[in-house]
């Protein structure tokens, strides 16, 4: 990926975000560091679209007479479909790399293999079970609660990617998505993005009263906090970020936000 001083247009940034983080038919017209910076700052918007699609499927299943459990399964399936399962695959690969206990070079090699090991399988199973259980409980309290939670979780998941792309976070490999976006986002811009996302989540939660606004904002911050812990651990183990680590961060942050809303 090349470096250029020319700022990307809003269209370039949005195309990069949706073209790399979703399967939506978007053509990425510019592939350089500046476009990556704009794209990762727009990552929460891609998350919002994914979350709204997930909420729509869950709501449709409830409207058709489905149970909260069925709605939860449908809602959890949408992000997986809209990302070709890449985030879940990254979570599994990262779990295998971390669980191997091997030096960084060997762990990265394990993560790059096409198969999934026992650590990855267990992590995937429990992650998906936790997602469905949390969403089912939220849908049991009404469609609006489940829909809002799906949106908050999806936005939080992609905001974790914005934070992981901030300056000072190196790439573990010289190629791949991790290398393409690592260190592209200024720290202040990343923190501003976090503040805007927390405010947006609070606005969504305000539909359920002042406590709902506070709970939604805290859920998003809890997800981003857990994502930061995972990021720091991966930096210590692998020396930086990879595309797989990005997937693990998204799934970890989104699940934490969901659990925070469900437990609240």
- Tens of pLDDT, residues 54-77: 999 999 999 999 999 999 999 999
45, pLDDT greater than 60: yes
| pTM recorded for the entire structure | 0.94
Give 94's Cβ-side CA count (13 Å radius).
29
- Residues 220-249: what's their mean pLDDT? 96
Q: Over the stretch 159-218, which tens digit does the pLDDT of each residue have?
A: 999 999 999 999 988 887 788 899 999 999 999 999 999 999 999 999 999 999 999 999
CB 147 within 8 A of CB 55: yes
Q: How many angstroms separate the CA atoms of 181 and 170, rounded? A: 9
Averaged pLDDT score across all residues of the chain? 93
Q: The tokens of 209 are what?
A: 């009263």
Q: How many angstroms separate the CA atoms of 146 and 61, rounded? A: 12
pLDDT value at residue 114: 80
CB 146 within 8 A of CB 242: no
Name the residue with tokens 């999806």.
154
9, pLDDT greater than 90: no
30, pLDDT greater than 90: no
CB 118 within 8 A of CB 185: no
Q: Which of 46-55, 108-117, 146-155 has the lowest mean pLDDT?
A: 108-117
Phi-psi region of 142 (alpha: psi -120 to 50; beta: other; left: phi over 0): left
pLDDT value at residue 5: 55
pLDDT band at 104 (very low <50, low <70, confident <90, very high): confident
- Residues 10-20: what's their mean pLDDT? 93
């Amino acid at each position: 990926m090349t470096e250029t001083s020319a700022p990307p247009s809003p269209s370039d940034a949005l195309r990069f975000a949706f073209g790399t983080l979703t399967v939506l038919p978007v053509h990425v017209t510019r592939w350089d560091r500046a476009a990556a910076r704009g794209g990762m700052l727009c990552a929460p918007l891609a998350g919002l679209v994914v979350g709204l699609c997930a909420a729509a499927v869950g709501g449709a299943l409830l409207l058709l007479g489905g149970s909260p459990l069925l709605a939860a399964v449908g809602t959890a399936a949408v992000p997986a479909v809209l990302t070709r399962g890449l985030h879940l695959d990254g979570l599994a690969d990262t779990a295998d790399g971390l669980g191997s206990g091997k030096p960084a070079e060997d762990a990265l090699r394990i993560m790059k293999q096409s198969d999934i090991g026992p650590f990855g399988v267990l992590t995937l199973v429990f992650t998906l079970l936790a997602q469905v259980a949390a969403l089912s409980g939220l849908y049991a309290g009404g469609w609006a609660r489940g829909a809002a939670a799906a949106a908050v979780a999806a936005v939080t998941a992609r905001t974790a990617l914005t934070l992981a792309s901030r300056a000072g976070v190196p790439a573990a490999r010289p190629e791949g998505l991790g290398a393409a976006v690592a260190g592209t986002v200024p720290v202040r811009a990343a923190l501003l993005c976090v503040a805007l996302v927390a405010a947006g989540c609070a606005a969504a939660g305000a539909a359920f009263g002042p406590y709902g606004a506070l709970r939604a904002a805290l859920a998003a911050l809890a997800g981003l906090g857990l994502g930061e812990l995972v990021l720091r651990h991966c930096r210590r183990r692998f020396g930086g970020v990879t595309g797989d680590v990005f997937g693990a961060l998204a799934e970890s942050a989104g699940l934490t936000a969901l659990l925070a809303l469900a437990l609240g």
